Structure 1
């Protein structure tokens, strides 16, 4: 969820508590289906050009370290396909023929599967929970002139990478700007990034410097060895620095110990501490510290106020026996983009599909969203939240909605 997925970020606990879950280093139906082909309306294909099936490849993590996120994505996608096609399984009169492949979070496996799909006539590829996978599939899409809609992979590098690549989730820059909204005017403020001394931690430090440092904040860091189990000294070091904002990006099984140390040392009582709100499975990890932490949030049910699109997603997932979660909207949005590209662009020409998506405004799960024409960034609202309740009743509560223009990443220029 990241630029390149590291071993540390490939753990479920890491995903649950890392600020940039599916971010700088990671790439975010009821049950995952089996690989193979499922035709949305198999008996409607006549072979005629105006009704021939549109072949879509879904390449995602059905297994591997990010399987939970892949499951959320697929559930959202299936609900989104039903919604966008009005229950017909057709886009522009063409049955949507879906072929699913499990990349297991392995870029090489994903590339092999994508090449095979393209060789079989697939014109649209979606999926990719992992940023390392997304960064391999994007060039492949350009080389073969197929439409590619990446999923929870949040690396900023996907935005503007080429004219055939779009995204259906948020990106790291939007995460950090959302966290920065809790700081207010960043100029002259002291920000401390608390993480591990690893590629994961160092990338988080670099990202915060790039975003909040550019706004005038003084960004420093406290980096603990990945092997450290006694985290009290690092909590004490953070407190001694008297930061205005502590930005926590933590990966690994020591997360509960970290939050306990921060709470015991009073760090959570004397300053603003922010981290990313991951999936529902992560909520208990924070323990007694949960109510004292501010969370940046990509999504949680009803974060943006229930709208008709979100209702369709929630109902669709629940009807299929699933549970809506963090990356459900990424799949739902991908289906919306794909159906629009076919109906407004072309069923076979990826260049026309891409053109139809550029500058498109649409009502999404999170509210009004926009595909920026210049670089295909997905502009969308973000949220801040806190956790309330205990045990099985713990749940996020909305603090603020950050408008999409307030968290818009810098505009890039697409080469070529």
Structure 2
């Protein structure tokens, strides 16, 4: 089935803020009474299904569901334990994320925690994973501090971090002696991205001449862009998540016509369609586009997104799928034991196969190392958006970030 036309904000099944439980039962994992089936394993997911970042949460949710199907051969069972998933919608608000996580941990008694679209929400939930000694698989939040300043032994970050994305961005700039400015949102995601890019750009020979921040909910970016135009860098690296973002203003002020080349991380399909019309030929990087990986697991993801959700995988579908595969593979190593310390020990240093190839949870900080992709946007027949086309595979080794935690996660 070909389905190549996409609409901004196309309807996807939206979950209410209340819990939706796949399966039933609240018993802690382990062997039931004599002759009974092993107790179910409860996985609680806090993600964003309404609000500005809802599309990202919905993508992650689709991928997680498909990943659980893939990893368990459609049984939703590991070592005899049924896996039940409880979903919570934090609407992108850190306070709500904390409330949801507390409910999952204290009322629903979940054995594993997952999710976190907004970096601030993920960071806010990390202490709860530690205090409840529960593994928390984070994604798709990207802030370096998740596995750095706020790291603890129960945190496993399946999504790339800001450094990894910044390294990919630097590698996508052909002139490594040019001047560059940055525009980013004024919160943890933006701060970490700017810091990482500046360090890497300087190491590569680029000169970072200006860093400008804007409110994540801003609609007028003229003041920030005018500052950048006054500096007139050769390149402008834009870090942004969500719509509408600064793209219309960049077009309206004709930055590229003024000799300022825009470089960015390529977002999901709906955002490409809505924001990047007229950006044919723009170079950048992406963590995923569904035609870029060449492996059987990605083929499974593409086929099941089409058959189950009438769409193709988007930016964060593979992230959700990888999270589910990692949880199941970890539980297979522990023979179904979801105890936080036991499962953490099994996941630390573990490599597993996912839709982007091989992922490895680095033992020192539990950041998942993984490939990324250099791309150029190209107009193609039958697509109503410029298509990310592969220019290079940026290997997990080439984009591996430094270990940023203190060395103690207790």
TM range (shorter): 0.7 to 0.9
Aligned to 2:325: 336
TM-score in terms of structure 2 length: 0.83
SS of residue paired to 2:99: helix
Matches of 1:203 and 1:107, distance apart in 2: 18
Structure 1, unpaired ranges of 5+: 1-12, 14-28
Aligned to 2:42: 55
Aligned CA distance change for structure 1 residues 203 and 288 (closer, same or farther; 3 Å)? same
Aligned CA distance change for structure 1 residues 190 and 275 (closer, same or farther; 3 Å)? same
| 1:301 and 2:295 aligned | no
Aligned to 1:18: none
Offset at residue 261 of structure 1 (A): 4.3
Candidates 398, 408, 414, aligned match of 2:400: 408
Offset at residue 69 of structure 1 (A): 0.8
Aligned to 1:237: 230
Candidates 200, 205, 211, aligned match of 1:211: 200
| 1:104 and 2:95 aligned | no
2:256 touches 2:262 (CA, 8 Å); kept in 1?
Answer: no
**Per-residue CA shift, 1:157-215, capped at 9, x if unaligned?**
112501101012111111100011123685x5432224578987666543322332344
TM-score in terms of structure 1 length: 0.82
2:279 touches 2:386 (CA, 8 Å); kept in 1?
Answer: no
1:30 touches 1:320 (CA, 8 Å); kept in 2?
Answer: no
1:41 touches 1:96 (CA, 8 Å); kept in 2?
Answer: no
Offset at residue 264 of structure 1 (A): 6.3
Matches of 1:301 and 1:258, distance apart in 2: 29
1:256 touches 1:285 (CA, 8 Å); kept in 2?
Answer: no
Aligned to 1:20: none
| 1:351 and 2:341 aligned | yes
Aligned CA distance change for structure 1 residues 286 and 133 (closer, same or farther; 3 Å)? closer
Aligned to 2:364: 374
The count of aligned residue pairs is 381
SS of residue paired to 2:393: strand
Matches of 1:202 and 1:159, distance apart in 2: 15
Structure number having the greater helix percentage: 1
List aligned pairs for 1:111-150, cutoff 5 A: 111-119=98-106, 120-150=108-138
Offset at residue 76 of structure 1 (A): 0.3
Matches of 1:385 and 1:157, distance apart in 2: 27
Matches of 2:122 and 2:269, distance apart in 1: 25
Aligned CA distance change for structure 1 residues 208 and 398 (closer, same or farther; 3 Å)? same
Aligned CA distance change for structure 1 residues 348 and 265 (closer, same or farther; 3 Å)? closer
Offset at residue 118 of structure 1 (A): 1.5
SS of residue paired to 1:347: coil
Aligned to 2:64: 77
**Per-residue CA shift, 1:211-230, capped at 9, x if unaligned?**
32344532111648764448
Matches of 1:210 and 1:402, distance apart in 2: 18
Offset at residue 369 of structure 1 (A): 1.6
